[in-house]
Structure 1
Amino acid sequence: MIRDQILIGAGFVVLFAGFMAGYTIAWWQRGRLAERVLAYVSGPETTVILGDLEARVRRSQA
């Protein structure tokens, strides 16, 4: 009985760790996507704040 509770608890810990890893990867990719979009639509040097994400983008003028 106690062994089953330990296994269930460990399963929840593993599930939570997987969720947090996926969330972190998604958040990181969101930041990279925002930088690429800003680089595409902005001028030579632009600072844009989207919520809590600040992206500084600088493009060459060539």
Structure 2
Amino acid sequence: MENSIKKCFICGQINCDGIIINGEMICRNCEETIVNTEVDDSDYDKLKDSIKIILFDECKK
């Protein structure tokens, strides 16, 4: 049977609601943070880099 424990790729929260992109979970809190973060915010680059890893990291495939 498949392990159903999902961990947020960005914050590490376990068994939370959210979205799955390329097989990686992003919790609702991080999803909301991503949507509401401005380009000049200090967290923008960290969030952008996390999304880039989910979308483009060849090692995950």
Which category of TM-score, normalised to the shorter sequence, fits these structures?
A: under 0.3
Report which of the two structures shows the higher radius of gyration computed on alpha carbons: 1
Q: Normalized against structure 2, the TM-score is what?
A: 0.27
Determine which structure has the larger strand proportion and give its number.
Answer: 1
